[in-house]
Amino acid sequence: MSTYVLIHGGCHGAWCWDKVTPLLKQGGHTVVAPDLPGRGKDSTPMVQVTLQSCADRVCEVISQQSEPVILAGHSMGGRVISQAAEQCPNYVSTLVYVTASLLRNGEVKTPPKEGVGTTLHSQSLITFEDGLLVTHGEEALKELLYHDCTDEDVEWAKSMLVPEALAILQTPIRVTEKNYGRIPRVYIECLQDNAILPETQKQMYTRMPCQRVISMNTSHMPMLSAPLELAGHLMSIP
């Protein structure tokens, strides 16, 4: 049996894994899905949240487990698990990127691919007046993130979303071959994703090769629209 630590993406919280967690537990596995700083039960003001504080939270969680963990990150959570793996590699057995940011050392974002114009993701971004937080326009949310989810799940998710700290998105990833580079990587691509386009996902896992690439024909939120399939893929990872 394995221990899974599931890290949510931007604007979301641990709640987004609520359908996947019990399925993994039914398989006999240990599962932890923490809130990153500023989300859910954590009271950190979002304007104080950084990539480092998120990585620190993940390292705190995984260091408390009885064995090295399968560390999965969704979307922006890919940045967080990369930084955490660099910081505390001995606690991680495998990194899993669920339609997530997979960046090289020193990168803030994936270099734009030739021929890819303005995306729905960039069109829908709204920056707060303080310049520290960002969110998405509500009218674009379903098409951007949840187009294959039930109406009930879409409304539930919308009610739980919070603004995101721009500091996380503007901080370069710092990883080395000595620490981060020795941990096996798996990428789960989502072929109907309108937030991180499939061609961008492929660009990332091509530039940062993974031991395995798993394809799902879902939106950006497979944990809501296809939790049984996603749980099965996670449990297939040694």
Q: What is the pLDDT of residue 137?
A: 81
pLDDT at residue 120, rounded to an integer: 66
Q: How confident is the model over 166-189, as a mean pLDDT?
A: 96
130: left (phi over 0), alpha (psi -120 to 50) or beta: alpha
Q: Residue 96 forms beta bridges with which residues?
A: 72, 186
CB 230, CB 216: distance < 8 Å: yes
State the pLDDT at residue 110.
78
For residue 238, name the pLDDT band (cuts at 50, 70, 90).
confident
Give the whole-angstrom CA distance, residue 62 versus residue 6. Answer: 10
Tell me the average pLDDT across 36-40: 93
pLDDT score, position 129: 61
**Residue 130: per-residue pLDDT:** 75
Residue extents of the structural domains in the chain: 3-235
Burial tier of 153 (Cβ tally within 10 Å: 0-12, 13-18, 19+): middle
**Domain at 3-235, CATH homologous superfamily:** Alpha/Beta hydrolase fold, catalytic domain (3.40.50.1820)
Burial of 176 (0-12, 13-18, 19+ CB in 10 A): exposed
- In degrees, to the nearest 5, what angle opens at C-alpha 16 toward C-alphas 10 and 19? 160
Is 60 exceeded by the pLDDT of residue 229? yes
pTM metric for this prediction: 0.94
Is the pLDDT at 93 greater than 80? The verdict is yes
Query: Which DSSP symbol is given to 109?
Result: S
